[in-house]
């Protein structure tokens, strides 16, 4: 009986060595591991998702140092005309730095091809965003 228990323990140890020990994964790590992103807002320079674009994935209190993606230069501050929110969190776009002023709510998994024409948010948010906060 003792021999069977020892053999089972050795086999189990070998299996753990092959597969690796199970460890809990944090939310941040699961995003890195390929789980769906909860914060992913693509912003565009022009209406209809046109012009240059940038991806926002974290709270940002001031867009003044944010440039359009792809090394194309130019500042996104007060230059966003459309967006696609591909994450599950809401993104609150504010008219002022440090989350001040009026805000526009971009629901999770939503888009707006023309920020100058809205009914449930500020009526004209075209070229006004200066900061973003993500909320679940």
Sequence-distant (6+) residues with CB within 8 A of 81 are 44, 45, 46, 47, 51, 114, 115, 116, 126, 127
Q: Answer yes or no: do 83 and 26 share one domain.
A: no
Provide the number of structural domains found in the chain: 2
Residue 21: the pLDDT is: 40
Q: Answer yes or no: do 20 and 53 share one domain.
A: no
Distance of CA 109 to the CA centre of its chain: 11
Residue 37: the pLDDT is: 76
The encoded tokens of residue 121 equal 């948010």
Mean pLDDT by 10 residues, the chain (136 residues): 48 43 36 65 98 96 91 89 97 98 96 89 92 97
Can you give the residue range of the structural domain that contains 25?
2-32
What does the angle CA 34 – CA 35 – CA 41 come to, to the nearest 5 degrees? 95
How far apart are the C-alpha atoms of 38 and 116, rounded to whole Å? Answer: 26
The encoded tokens of residue 63 equal 């867009």
What does the angle CA 21 – CA 38 – CA 78 come to, to the nearest 5 degrees? 140
Q: Answer yes or no: do 19 and 58 share one domain.
A: no
Q: Answer yes or no: do 10 and 64 share one domain.
A: no
């Amino acid at each position: 009986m003792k021999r069977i228990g020892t053999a089972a323990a050795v086999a189990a140890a070998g299996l753990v060595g092959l597969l690796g020990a199970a460890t809990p994964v944090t939310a941040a790590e699961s995003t890195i591991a390929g789980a769906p992103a909860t914060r992913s807002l693509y912003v565009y320079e022009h209406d209809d998702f046109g012009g240059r674009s940038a991806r926002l994935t974290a709270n940002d209190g001031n867009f003044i140092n944010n440039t359009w993606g792809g090394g194309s230069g130019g500042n996104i501050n007060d230059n966003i005309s459309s967006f696609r929110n591909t994450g599950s969190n809401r993104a609150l776009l504010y008219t002022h730095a440090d989350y001040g002023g009026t805000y526009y709510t971009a629901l999770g998994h939503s888009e707006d091809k023309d920020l100058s024409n809205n009914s449930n948010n500020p009526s004209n948010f075209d070229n006004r965003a200066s900061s973003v906060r993500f909320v679940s």
